[in-house]
């Protein structure tokens, strides 16, 4: 099917990133493209062949399969494919065929590189899955939409000053925006009330319109912190309304700026380390959502964000252990408190339950167990108070099964490895993420080394663990390459935990098991697996890139919820993503699916 120059130009105007190109650049691009047509079932390219460029689907559907013949994606109108292989080594890492009669636009490699070099928007598109966030930002360089309070307090111009003062008192705020519909008329502050209404002895019938600052200066969400600071300093004011498109959307106050500077991980750690009770700690951990917003908005990579947030949980755990010993007395025998799950991997986000256990010295007696049961309850209850809610599966030290002498733990692991039934596979997966938090760390060192050696040497156990790791699959389907949850409370969303990061977490655990690697963090595991030869360097890079994109998309989603005043979760509506974000997220899922397929077929990623 031949396409005219005008047809190609109109089509590209509907496809990101080409829709952002200047008219002359778009016109030049349309002249250099190649159009290819394919009948149903016709191959577009074979595995390992040289790619002719980047493909964009003008019409039809394309099926992508991996080296084992497993379908990893169905792509439709405006989807692009072939980028990863093109920029990796120029070779196709998958196989593509036309599922239906299809028309494809092909951008030759040299043309793609010219676009990347000449246009930032194109560069961002093609490098999104591999791009790092910018460096950490200060208050002065942070965008206003991060700084501003979105829970707006407003009143009408006819509101009595006394009523306005009552609202400020009850809501613990220092100003009200005076509005009529969506129009901002002015701002009334506590200083206006004290300096005008009270000081001048104005009557009780005085309205807000009589004391407010009319037509106040405003800024937009796209401005930065330094703009706020400069306006406040120059005008001698402490409140700046934020408007967008003529509509009031937020406000920034001096209190917001102070809070922004005060909320950092080191300060939270310091306050928790000095806390005298779990309730005191809860006042600190309540700032974690705001910390999450600031760390992500500040350009920190996901592994830095989750590490800093996990450090707070670690500090809270150790402080609770100290408080428990102060209450119960010194422990009768040495013990070690360990975390598993996301805390064990140092990957906590804004949504975390607690997964923990206790390893006790083998000299512990039955009578001593009473002490450790009370210690476990004190710490787990305290963590729950701090917002780390109880594990639904009771994977906690309060469960007697997970508060045992070292010899019992040794028997646990040996039993799971010798008889890898479904429960053993699940438990082993959880326990391979163990990380010591507080106590006698030497209780774990030998156990970890012995277990890894025994597990790696049992091919049946490894095979079962591989099978168990493939139970969580990326959400790939027919609709634009991404499948959503079909029913229930989270219908039509992507589960970025169980179908996003967990498949990579499971793969990384398998690689470390095969290589007897001791890392617990997923990213560290993938790097170690690449260095140790368990993964090829290119395989490790691809999976790291995919994991980074999925994990950062998850954090971005949680931040959006926090900024909207909602609780963070892992369920992302695809409609919240732009076309190019969906495209790259789908590519990341394809990489994970391909790696799962390789592991499932008993193939390593070497060579």
pLDDT digits (tens, 9 = 90+) for 338-348: 999 999 999 99
Q: Is the pLDDT of residue 132 over 60?
A: no
Q: Which of 450, 467, 484 is the last residue of a domain?
A: 467
Among residues 39, 12, 14, the alpha carbon closest in space to that of 102 is found at 39
Check which CATH number belongs to the domain holding 165 and give it.
Answer: 3.10.580.10
Within a domain: 135? no
Q: Print the domain residue range for 411.
A: 263-467
How sure is the predictor about 607, in pLDDT bands with cuts at 50, 70 and 90? very low
Check which CATH number belongs to the domain holding 586 and give it.
Answer: 1.20.120
Within a domain: 417? yes
Residue 161, φ and ψ in degrees, nearest 5? -60, -40
Q: Where are the alpha helices (DSSP H) in 82-155?
A: 83-88, 109-118, 120-127, 144-147
Within a domain: 607? no
On whether both 442 and 490 belong to a single domain, the answer is no
How sure is the predictor about 355, in pLDDT bands with cuts at 50, 70 and 90? very high
> What pLDDT score does 155 carry?
95
Which value, to the nearest 10 degrees, does the dihedral of the CA atoms of residues 107, 108, 113, 116 take?
0
- The CA distance from 556 to 574, in Å, is 13
On whether both 427 and 557 belong to a single domain, the answer is no
Answer yes or no: are the C-beta atoms of 581 and 553 closer than 8 Å.
Answer: yes
> What pLDDT score does 443 carry?
93
- The chain-wide mean pLDDT, for the chain, equals 87
> What pLDDT score does 501 carry?
95
On whether both 454 and 476 belong to a single domain, the answer is no
Average pLDDT over residues 94-119: 88
Within a domain: 460? yes
Structure tokens at 570: 């892992």
Q: How many angstroms separate the first and last alpha carbons of the chain?
A: 40
Q: Is the pLDDT of residue 606 over 90?
A: no
> What pLDDT score does 16 carry?
75
Q: How far is CA 39 from CA 44, 103, 322, in A?
A: 10, 9, 70
On whether both 426 and 572 belong to a single domain, the answer is no
Number of domains in the chain: 4
Within a domain: 358? yes
Within a domain: 511? yes
Q: How far is CA 225 from CA 40, 183, 230, 356, 493, in A?
A: 55, 24, 9, 41, 34
Structure tokens at 574: 């695809």
On whether both 307 and 362 belong to a single domain, the answer is yes
Average pLDDT over residues 361-379: 97
- The CA distance from 406 to 444, in Å, is 8
> What pLDDT score does 333 carry?
97
Q: Which of 444, 467, 490 is the last residue of a domain?
A: 467
Structure tokens at 359: 């390893």
Is pLDDT larger for residue 393 or for residue 360? Answer: 360
pLDDT digits (tens, 9 = 90+) for 176-196: 999 998 889 999 999 999 999
Average pLDDT over residues 410-427: 88
* In the chain, % of residues over pLDDT 90: 45
On whether both 92 and 219 belong to a single domain, the answer is no
- The CA distance from 531 to 548, in Å, is 18
Answer yes or no: are the C-beta atoms of 594 and 535 closer than 8 Å.
Answer: no
Check which CATH number belongs to the domain holding 390 and give it.
Answer: 3.30.460
- The CA distance from 599 to 579, in Å, is 31
Within a domain: 136? no
Residues 6+ apart with CB under 8 A from 15: 56, 78, 80, 579
Among residues 34, 82, 84, the alpha carbon closest in space to that of 62 is found at 82
Is pLDDT larger for residue 377 or for residue 301? Answer: 377
Q: Is the pLDDT of residue 602 over 80?
A: no
- In the DSSP assignment, the letter for residue 329 is -
Q: Which helix (H) or strand (E) holds 178?
A: strand 175-180
Average pLDDT over residues 118-128: 69
Among residues 453, 602, 591, the alpha carbon closest in space to that of 83 is found at 591
Is the pTM higher than 0.85? The answer reads no
pLDDT digits (tens, 9 = 90+) for 494-516: 999 999 999 999 999 999 888 88
On whether both 73 and 174 belong to a single domain, the answer is no
On whether both 269 and 407 belong to a single domain, the answer is yes
On whether both 501 and 588 belong to a single domain, the answer is yes
On whether both 294 and 394 belong to a single domain, the answer is yes
pLDDT digits (tens, 9 = 90+) for 526-579: 988 988 888 888 888 899 999 999 999 999 999 999 988 888 999 999 989 888
Answer yes or no: are the C-beta atoms of 168 and 177 closer than 8 Å.
Answer: no
Check which CATH number belongs to the domain holding 94 and give it.
Answer: 2.60.120.10
Q: Which of 235, 256, 277 is the last residue of a domain?
A: 256
Residues 6+ apart with CB under 8 A from 518: 448, 449, 452, 512
Residue with tokens 């390789």: 598
Structure tokens at 496: 């970025």
On whether both 313 and 252 belong to a single domain, the answer is no
Residue with tokens 């001048």: 200
Within a domain: 605? no
How sure is the predictor about 114, in pLDDT bands with cuts at 50, 70 and 90? confident
> What pLDDT score does 11 carry?
86
> What pLDDT score does 421 carry?
86
pLDDT digits (tens, 9 = 90+) for 46-98: 988 889 999 999 888 888 887 666 666 667 777 788 876 676 678 887 889 99
Among residues 492, 486, 528, the alpha carbon closest in space to that of 510 is found at 528
Q: How far is CA 296 from CA 211, 259, 287, 557, 588, in A?
A: 39, 16, 14, 11, 20
Q: What are the start-end ranges of the E strands in 407-561? A: 435-439, 494-495
Q: Helix 225-235 vs helix 254-262: angle between axes, to the nearest 10 degrees?
A: 140
On whether both 201 and 298 belong to a single domain, the answer is no
């Amino acid at each position: 099917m031949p396409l005219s120059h005008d047809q190609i130009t109109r089509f590209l105007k509907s496809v990101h990133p080409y829709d952002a190109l200047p008219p002359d650049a778009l016109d030049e691009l349309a002249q250099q493209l190649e159009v290819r047509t394919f009948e149903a079932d016709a191959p577009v390219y074979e595995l390992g062949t040289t790619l002719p460029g980047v493909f964009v689907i003008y019409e039809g559907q394309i099926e992508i399969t991996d080296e084992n013949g497993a379908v990893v994606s169905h792509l439709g109108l405006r989807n692009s494919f072939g980028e990863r292989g093109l920029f990796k080594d120029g070779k196709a890492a998958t196989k593509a065929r036309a599922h239906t009669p299809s028309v494809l636009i092909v951008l030759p490699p040299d043309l793609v590189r010219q676009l990347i070099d000449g246009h930032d928007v194109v560069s961002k598109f093609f490098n999104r899955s591999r791009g790092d966030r910018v460096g950490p930002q200060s208050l002065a360089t942070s965008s206003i939409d991060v700084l501003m309070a979105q829970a707006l307090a407003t009143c009408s111009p006819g509101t009595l000053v006394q009523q306005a003062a009552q609202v400020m008192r009850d809501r613990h705020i220092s100003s009200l925006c005076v509005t009529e519909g969506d129009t901002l008329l002015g701002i009334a502050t506590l200083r206006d009330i004290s300096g005008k209404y009270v000081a001048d002895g104005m009557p009780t019938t005085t309205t807000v319109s009589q004391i407010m600052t009319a037509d106040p200066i405003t800024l937009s969400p796209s401005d930065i912190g330094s703009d706020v600071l400069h306006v406040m300093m120059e005008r001698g004011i402490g409140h700046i309304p934020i408007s967008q498109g003529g509509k009031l959307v937020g406000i920034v106050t001096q209190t917001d700026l102070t809070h922004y500077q005060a909320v950092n991980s080191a300060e939270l750690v310091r306050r928790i380390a000095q806390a005298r009770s779990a309730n005191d700690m809860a006042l600190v951990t309540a700032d974690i959502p705001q910390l999450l917003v600031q760390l992500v908005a500040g350009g920190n990579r996901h592994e830095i964000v989750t590490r800093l947030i996990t450090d707070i949980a670690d500090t809270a755990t150790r402080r609770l252990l100290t408080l428990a010993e102060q209450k119960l007395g010194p422990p009768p025998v040495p013990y070690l408190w360990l975390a598993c799950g996301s805390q064990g991997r140092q990957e906590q986000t804004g949504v975390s339950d607690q997964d923990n256990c206790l390893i006790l010295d083998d000299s512990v007696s039955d009578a001593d167990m009473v002490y450790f049961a009370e210690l476990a309850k004190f710490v787990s209850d305290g963590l729950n108070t701090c917002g780390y809610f109880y594990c639904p599966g009771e994977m906690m030290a309060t469960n007697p099964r997970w508060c045992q002498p070292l010899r019992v733990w040794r028997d646990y692991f040996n039993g799971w490895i010798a008889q890898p039934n479904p429960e053993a596979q699940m438990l082993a997966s959880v326990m391979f993420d163990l990380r010591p938090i507080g106590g006698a760390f030497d209780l774990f060192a030998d156990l970890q080394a012995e277990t890894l050696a025994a597990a790696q040497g049992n091919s049946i156990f490894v095979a079962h663990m591989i099978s168990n790791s493939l139970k969580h699959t990326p959400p790939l389907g027919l609709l634009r390459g991404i499948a959503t949850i079909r029913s229930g409370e989270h219908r039509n969303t992507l589960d970025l935990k169980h179908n996003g990061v967990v498949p990579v977490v499971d793969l990384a655990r398998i690689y470390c098991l095969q290589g007897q690697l001791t890392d617990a963090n997923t990213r560290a595991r993938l790097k170690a697996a690449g260095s140790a030869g368990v993964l090829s360097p290119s395989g490790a890079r691809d999976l790291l890139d995919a994991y980074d994109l999925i994990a950062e998309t998850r954090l971005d989603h949680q931040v959006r919820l926090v900024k909207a005043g909602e609780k963070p979760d892992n369920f992302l509506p695809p409609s919240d993503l732009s076309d190019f974000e969906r495209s790259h997220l789908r590519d990341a899922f394809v990489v994970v699916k391909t790696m799962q397929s390789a592991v499932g077929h008993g193939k390593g990623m070497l060579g």
